[in-house]
Chain A
Amino acid sequence: MNAKPDEYYINETLNGNVNAYAFLVEKYKHMVFTLSLRIVKNREEAEEISQDVFVKTYTNLKSFKGDSKFSTWIYKIAYYASLDVLKKQKRTIYPENIDIFNESDVESVSHGLNFLELQDRKKIINTALLKLSEEERTIVTLFYYEEVSVKEISKIVNLSADNVKIKLYRVRKKLVSILKNVIEPNTINLL
C-alpha cells in the first residue's frame, strides 16, 4: 500500500485526488494517535485531536514545502495540538523525579518484567511511560518505536539535537527507575 513515497500522495492530493490523502491518514494514524494519547491520556480526546491534526494537515498541505519529512511535519502538528489541549484544560503535569540509578537496576527490572504475563507487562510499561513528562514520552516514542532521527525529533519538539540526546539519556534512566518502583510492589504481590 505504501510502496510509493509520501510525496506522491501529497502531489496527488494537491492535484485534486482527495482519496490519495486517505493513504497518508492510514499510514500515520497509529503514530499520530499514540503521540496524542500519550500526551492527553484520554482516548476520546486523542482521537478527536488526531482527526483535527489530519484535517489541519490537509487544509495546509499547500504550505508544506518538503524541507523536512511529511512525518516530521505531521508529528509536530500532533505534538503541539495535544499540548494545546492540555494547556486549555490547565491540566498540570507532574513528571516523576529520577531515583538514584544503579547499574544493576536494568537487569533486575528486565527480569521482573519477564516474570509477568504479556498484558500485565504492557500495562506496567504504559504506566511507567505515563509517569514521564509529555516531552519525554514523545521523544522516547519517536526515537525507539518509530526510529526517528535525533535531528528530526529536534524539529518536532523544538529543541536542539544535543538537548534531545541529553533528554534521551535521562529518560532511559528515568524509565528504568520508574519501572523498578512499579514492578517491585507487583512482584511482591505475586509472591
Chain B
Amino acid sequence: MKTENNIEGFTKSIIKEVGLETPSTDFVSNVMKAIDVENKKVVYLNYQPLISNFGWFVITLLLMGMSIFISLSNFQSSEIFLILDSSYLNKFNEIDFINNLKFSTTFTFSVLLFAVLVVFQLFAIKHFYAKKVLPN
C-alpha cells in the first residue's frame, strides 16, 4: 500500500512537472478567425430566394384578381373584340411552321451539348460556392 501511494505520488509529481504544452501565441485569434469564416459560411449557405414570400403573395393576389375580373366581366362579348380585326391570325395557319422547321445534326448536337454543359455548370458552381466562402 505504501509503495502504491509512493508510485501514485511520484506519477502525479512528474506529470505536474512536465506540465502542459502551449500552442502558438496567435492560437485564440486563429480560432476566432476560423469561427468568423464559419459564421459567414452559414450566412452564405442560407440561400435567399429570388422572389420573397411577400413577392409571391403579391403575384398570387394579382393573378387571383385578374382571373376574378375576367370571369366576372363578360369579356368575350365585350365590344373591344368586335372592333379588333383578327382575320390576320388566319395567315399564320397557312404557314406550316413546325413541319418546315429543320435543324442540321450539328446544330441539334450543339444545342444538346450546350444544355448539358449549362446543367453541369449549374451544379458545379453551386457545389463550388457551397464549399468556398465568399470574402465579405
Which residues does A use to contact B, with CB under 8 Å?
A: 18-19, 21-22, 25-26, 29-31, 33-34, 37-38, 43, 46-47, 50-51, 54-55, 58-59, 103, 106-107, 109-110, 113, 121-122, 125-126, 129, 140-141, 144-145, 171-173, 175-176, 179
Contacts and interface: CB of A to CB of B under 8 A. Distances in A.
Interface residues of B, number: 28
Interface stretch (B16-24, B57-65, B67-75, B98-106): B16-24
B13 to A, nearest CB: 8
B7 A30 contact: no
A110 B10 CA distance: 7
A30 B17 CA distance: 15
Contacts of A145: 15-16, 19-20
A30 B34 contact: no
B125 interface: no
A69 B40 CA distance: 29
Interface string B1-37: 0010011101110111111111110011011101110
B23 A50 contact: yes
Given A144-B11, A175-B14, A22 B28 contact: yes
Chain B's interface: helix, strand, loop or mixed, by majority? Answer: helix
Interface centre among A34, A129, A171, A173 (most CB of B within 10 A): A34
Contacts of A141: 15
Contact of B38 (A31, A50, A58): A58
Contacts of A121: 17
B27 A50 contact: yes
Contact of A109 (B10, B22, B39): B10
A49 to B, nearest CB: 10
A54 B28 CA distance: 10
A172 B7 contact: yes
